[in-house]
Amino acid sequence: MYGLILVAGLGSGYGLSLLPGLLKADYTEGNYAAYFPNAQAKVVLYGTDWCGYCAKTRAYFKENKIEFVDLDIEKSPAAKQAHKALGGGGVPVVLIGNRKITGYDTGAFQAALKNTAG
């Protein structure tokens, strides 16, 4: 009986720890025009060289022939300042149209690209 109570308690504690991630939106909408380096850019990636998810994001965009502007926040003071103004935190931060996507999320990338096309 104690084992069952222990397992139930640990399971519910683990489940509750995952809850914020499950409730987090895939993207944030806003006017991000000021963070695009030029009017032709439709997709901007704020990242670093060492970030594995940034590398996966770059590879995803290249494989899918999605043109993007790649801004390294460690090499460009302007990119670092823009990243901070966007809320900072981790990388990658991807801007597609009026959507900001934090992290590597191909579903959110596809939805945002579809939203900008239509």
Q: Residues with Cβ < 8 Å from 55, sequence gap 6 or more?
A: none
Dump pLDDT digits (tens) for 1-42.
766 675 666 555 655 555 454 455 788 999 999 999 888 899
**51 and 45 in contact (C-beta within 8 Å)?**
no
In a domain, 84, yes or no: yes
- Strand 43-47: give its sheet, edge to edge: 28-29, 99-102, 93-96, 43-47, 69-72
CA distance 115 to 104: 18
Q: What is the pLDDT of residue 43?
A: 96
Q: Determine, yes or no, domain membership for 17.
A: no
The total number of structural domains in the chain stands at 1
Domain that holds residue 33: 26-117
For residue 113, tell me if it sits in a domain: yes
- Rounded to 5 degrees, φ, ψ at 98 are -100, 20
Q: Is residue 108 part of a domain?
A: yes
List pLDDT tens digits, range 57-95. Answer: 999 999 999 999 999 999 999 999 999 999 988 999 999
Supply the CATH number for residue 82's domain: 3.40.30.10
Residue 19 forms part of a structural domain:
no
Q: Which of 118, 102, 115, 117 is nearest to 57 (CA)?
A: 102
Whether 98 shows a pLDDT value over 90: the answer reads yes
Bridge-based pairing of strands 99-102 and 93-96 is antiparallel
